[in-house]
């Protein structure tokens, strides 16, 4: 029996500061586990379970309920993020929970601010230090003045070619999956228009003055490196900037570090101001609900005030829950008909599929006998 919802349901959009070394999906599963035992999200959990049970009661006999596996797989709530961060990257990850998941699309097109470290002298297959080194070129001539000069060409609007190790799809398959399978891309990734509003050098290191390493090396790279701050449009790949900057400087380069410091109104704690919201850190999550609870709740309530629920929120898929339940029970009680030795499909879509399969089978038999 599903428990009744008691207390106010709190939902919406907030942000966490994702650490390097985990994927965005792993970060969401960590939040799911943390929130599932919390007081703040107990009403939302009860509401989610209630809705799943109502939907399960409407399924035809014998049809598997996909929601049965949700909690077993650690997915207690509807949850998603507003823009992927690679495992190497850290920083702002916008998260939607409950009704907030429907608003995540709004954050995909907003500008983002990053701080990245570019390491000169080598390139990798992924354009970052998580990949394998594929080429090496002298970089003794690369100095801060040259980098400053070449960065001017990356400000404003221009066209950028995404890296092959990306989630962009070609014929329905991610480009990175072709590469990992050892297959050639069906066609080249098309360049796209991007915009860079800010591109500023924050710090420069000569050889031996930093601790950034090449893949597989246990010691710091003997190559220059630069930290750059970028404010960019949607669709911009910082890894591609690192690769292109190395080429522009007459050498090669790879992204060694990436931090997303701002997205929309969310920013890192040490950069938060009156007009921005501070992201919740993993240290906050590890400290317990007494620490992360007030921070998350403040952001969610701010979102709820700006995005009140519809006046009438008693429908499920456009129909009153009681009516939908009654119709489902009537469907179960209805005498089912046979269709060519099998039960006829319950829905119109299922019946059409059966008719199509039967027609194809008949045509196949005719071709065999002719």
Active site residues: 86
84 CB-near residues (< 8 Å, 6+ apart): 24, 167
With beta carbons less than 8 A apart as the criterion, state whether 262 and 112 touch: yes
Strand partners, 263: 112, 266
66 CB-near residues (< 8 Å, 6+ apart): none
- Give the single-character DSSP code of 100: G
Distance CA 147, CA 152 (A): 9
Tokens of 71: 């909690």
Residue 23 gets the label, from left (phi > 0), alpha (psi -120 to 50) or beta, of beta
Alpha helices (H) in the chain, listed in sequence order: 24-36, 42-56, 68-72, 105-108, 144-151, 175-180, 238-248, 282-287, 289-306, 321-333, 348-369
With beta carbons less than 8 A apart as the criterion, state whether 49 and 2 touch: yes
């Amino acid at each position: 029996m599903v428990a009744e919802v008691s207390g106010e349901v709190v939902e919406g959009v907030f942000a966490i500061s994702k650490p390097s070394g985990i994927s965005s999906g792993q970060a969401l599963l960590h939040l799911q586990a943390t929130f599932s035992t919390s007081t703040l999200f107990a009403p939302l959990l009860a509401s989610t379970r209630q809705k799943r049970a109502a939907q399960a009661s409407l399924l035809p006999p014998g049809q598997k309920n996909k929601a049965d596996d949700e909690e077993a797989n650690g997915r207690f709530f509807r949850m998603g993020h507003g823009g992927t961060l690679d495992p190497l990257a850290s920083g702002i990850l916008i998260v939607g929970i409950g009704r907030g998941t429907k608003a995540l699309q709004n954050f995909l097109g907003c500008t983002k601010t990053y701080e990245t470290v570019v390491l000169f002298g080598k390139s990798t297959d992924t354009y970052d230090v998580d990949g394998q080194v594929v080429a090496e070129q002298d970089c003794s001539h690369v100095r801060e003045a040259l980098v400053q000069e070449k960065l001017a060409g990356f400000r404003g609007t221009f066209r950028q070619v995404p890296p092959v190790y990306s989630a962009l799809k070609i014929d329905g398959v991610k480009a990175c999956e072709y590469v990992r399978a050892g297959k050639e891309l069906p066609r080249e990734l098309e360049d796209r228009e991007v915009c860079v509003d800010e591109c500023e050098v924050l710090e420069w290191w000569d050889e031996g003055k930093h601790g950034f390493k090449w893949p597989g090396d246990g010691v710091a790279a003997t190559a220059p490196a630069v930290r750059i701050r970028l404010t960019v449009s949607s669709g911009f790949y910082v890894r591609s900037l690192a690769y292109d900057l190395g080429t522009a400087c007459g050498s090669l380069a790879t992204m060694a570090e990436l931090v997303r410091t701002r997205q929309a109104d969310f920013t890192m704690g040490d950069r938060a101001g009156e007009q921005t919201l501070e992201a919740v850190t993993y240290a906050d999550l590890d400290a317990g609900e007494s620490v992360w609870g007030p921070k998350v709740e403040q952001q969610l309530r701010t979102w709820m005030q700006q995005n009140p629920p519809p006046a009438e929120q008693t429908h499920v898929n456009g129909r009153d829950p009681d009516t939908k339940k009654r119709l489902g029970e009537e469907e179960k009680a209805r005498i089912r008909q046979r269709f060519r030795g099998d039960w006829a499909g319950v829905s119109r879509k299922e019946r059409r599929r059966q008719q199509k399969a039967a027609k194809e089978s008949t045509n196949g038999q005719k071709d065999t006998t002719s």
